[in-house]
Chain A
Amino acid sequence: MSSLLSSFMSFSRINGDSRVAPFVVVLLVVTALASFCNLLMPADSVFYVSTYTITLLGKYLCYAMLALAVDVIWGYCGILSLGHGAFFALGGYAMGMYLMRQIGDRGVYGNPELPDFMVFLNWSELPWFWHGMDQFWVAMLMVLLVPGLLAYVFGWLAFRSRVTGVYLSIMTQALTYALLLSFFRNEMGFGGNNGLTDFKDILGFDLQSDNTRVTLFIVTALMLCGLLVLSKKIMQTRFGKVIVAIRDGESRARFIGYRTENYKVWLFVYSAMIAGIAGALYVPQVGIINPGEFSPINSIEIVIWVAVGGRGTLVGAIIGAILVNYAKTKFTAIMPDGWLFALGAMFVLVTLYLPKGLMGLVAQLKDQQLKGEQHKSQKAADNSPNEKTEEGHA
């Protein structure tokens, strides 16, 4: 682990990034501590961390990963996707199918082949798309491929025909809505409204045991760090610069010879895959995946996590996701009906007063101290608008 840390540190030194490295360190330390306290502390010790907390943290990290996915596409490329819940859910379903097959003949009907919901809707044999899902690697492949492919097809269609801005957002929303409806259908063979649940074990490890849960939690944390660093690195390549260029002046980017649609498509695919991974890690930890995850509302909520944390700053997205969900957990416990008010207010206030989110706020506070020159420049950087209308010429 320490070697891992140092490598991150060194990496961060190389490209002089201030935020990512410390964040990664904190995250990993917390993870290590939490797992340690859960496994090695006696249940009655003051330092004991309940498995409940572990799964909760695990869930947050999955959401954080999802937020990361949205930030990559929205914060850096200005593509506001209101359908990322779909990719998340698809990844989740792929994992869910694997876990379902793992149950084998331990289902209530003791049918070695078919999951329970198929038995009592008396299906005779496994639908084709369920075959092979009992192989872990196949499932993992699907976790990446299915969201990736969907993203590619959708993106290829949309970006090539230059569907942009609002239209794109609405289309992504329509996409996830259509998926929602179709996954509700029982004929689809994904358990309809009930979705997939009652999982037993993963790779032979019992999902109920603390060890497995902690391991999942750690894996999630590492995966998150990995993806965070990777995304950061990508954004520092020339590719990343082109992406930002597209955000700020797409037609300009075209006029200096970049096939912007290709760039967008691949970024979209990358982001969709991250979402898929997040979903796949989410399912075994919460123990159920069902069409609810496709609902457009969820997808919009993701966006607000990012907005709160500060778009275009990967770390911000993660922090936003964790904070908002933490708030949600607390809030719904204290005053259930209050939550929607709070969430709604958050939407409005953040968009009105924190266009750059918490990270932006921090940055601005930093500026206060700095001198005029940098101050001005920072300002300019701040108001580089994401939906800047393409330079018209009328």
Chain B
Amino acid sequence: MKIKHLVSGIALSMGASVLSVSAMAADTIKVGVLHSLSGTMAISETTLKDTVLMMVEEQNKKGGLLGKKLEAVVVDPASNWPLFAEKTRELLTKDQVDVIFGCWTSVSRKSALPVLEELNGLMFYPVQYEGEESSKNVFYTGAAPNQQAIPAVDYLMNDLGVKRWVLAGTDYVYPRTTNKILEAYLKAKGVAEEDIMINYTPFGHSDWQSIVSDIKSFGAEGKKTAVVSTINGDANVPFYKELGNQGISAEDIPVVAFSVGEEELSGLDTKPLVGHLAAWNYFQSVESDANSAFISQWKAFTGNPDRVTNDPMEATYIGFKMWTQAVEKAGTTDVDAVEQAMIGQETENLTGGMAYMNKNHHLSKPVLIGEIQDDGQFEVVWETEGVVPGDAWSDFLPGSKDLIADWTAPISCGNYNTVTKTCSGQNY
């Protein structure tokens, strides 16, 4: 790798006569890691990079894969979306990695996607997202909306008897889509238009006074009210603080968040948050052998007893496990073979039970609702019976209700229209 850097250095300085040392016959299996190590997303993504490294290390302890050692190739897309495409190309062409674990934000995934499909790479995407996508070259181990948002709403509706809904989110595609889906879902459940309040705020919004007081008055009209929050990252702290200060407690107006996990909580004073909810497929607090083993392994690996684990980490964990299984099953790291072998793979959730990889490249996972405790952990208050299969195309959006993804013959298409029986928009 070093050499090639230097070489392409010469290339640039003295013209493009590059002695591109084509990667020598792989005696190792290369695992690309495409997570931002600098810039705004570094906060979340470095954790995942470490997780992958940890898994690789563990796998190598077990004697590697197909008798070869795994070699992690880490690059830094620096939270800069175009860089994700560039780095993906670098990983696939220069380093010739066999698989990539990476991306956090949707935009970074969207940016890397065309390159993946052009060069037929394989990527595992470990974060909950808005769905509406299924690529041959990507496996989505995070939650689709129907694995997070909808169960959460069900819980609020049935167990807490919520009648009025505030859908508050940061103004970008994940909240937009999720809220569209929820809106449709709630209306289908017979919630009236005026009982739904939708509100969008810019990234890192810090002055929540008016919005919170709106929510307060919205909630003061007798019916039980809840906030479904797709507020992202930094905006959360001031939001919860304002809630606390305006005296809105979790008993009055519970907030269920989809982007607040252990990692985020570790950065804020949980006093005003106690009792508010979050919906994930994993909580660190869940008691299971696999989980406690994972946690202790993580703390050992990072050498920090206070490090917390979170849902995207589990998603990475599951993805990695499944990939190794698939490679063993296929007996090769060839993308097409592995892609087919992936479908139907099963591996143990950290929360107990088995995760299952569906034909649409999304997982079947259990959904948990947790209440925030004053120690920054979640107390599971509800969980789905059995697992929920991830839905690539939401049934609640007019655009996508007829679409399905099925990567097995005869369909083998990411967006197959069940009505017109056509498969549109593939890049190959």
Contact = CB atoms under 8 A, between A and B. Distances in A.
A199 B115 CA distance: 11
B173 to A, nearest CB: 5
Nearest to B174: A193
Contacts of B202: 181, 184
Given A50-B18, A193-B172, A287-B114, A108 B93 contact: no
A259 B420 CA distance: 65
Interface string B396-427: 01111001000000000011010010101111
Interface string A330-344: 101110110110000
A37 interface: yes
Contacts of B15: 26, 29-30, 33-34
Contacts of B210: none
Given A120-B399, A208-B118, A287-B111, A48 B173 contact: no
Interface stretch (A53-61, A163-171, A371-379): A53-61
A336 B18 CA distance: 25
What's the dominant secondary structure at chain A's contact region?
helix
Contacts of B80: 292
Nearest to A285: B82
A206 to B, nearest CB: 10
B12 interface: yes
Nearest to B134: A108
A117 B173 contact: yes
Interface string A45-87: 0111111111111011000000000000000000000000000
Nearest to B133: A108
Interface residues of B, number: 61
A339 B78 contact: yes
A357 interface: no
B171 A55 contact: no
A326 interface: yes
Nearest to A26: B15
Contacts of B383: none
B78 A47 contact: no
Given A106-B424, A121-B180, A337-B37, A292 B81 contact: yes
A186 B200 CA distance: 10
Interface of B: 5, 8-9, 11-13, 15-22, 37-38, 75-76, 78, 80-82, 85-86, 89-90, 93-94, 105-107, 110-111, 113-115, 118, 132-133, 171-173, 176-177, 180, 202-203, 397-400, 403, 414-415, 417, 420, 422, 424-427
28 contacts: A26-B15, A34-B15, A37-B18, A44-B22, A47-B19, A50-B93, A53-B8, A56-B86, A57-B12, A59-B82, A105-B424, A108-B133, A108-B424, A109-B415, A116-B425, A117-B173, A120-B180, A120-B399, A121-B177, A121-B180, A194-B110, A198-B113, A208-B118, A287-B115, A288-B82, A288-B111, A330-B9, A336-B78
Leading 9 A-B pairs by shortest Cβ distance = A34-B16, A110-B424, A193-B172, A336-B37, A286-B82, A336-B76, A30-B15, A119-B399, A208-B118
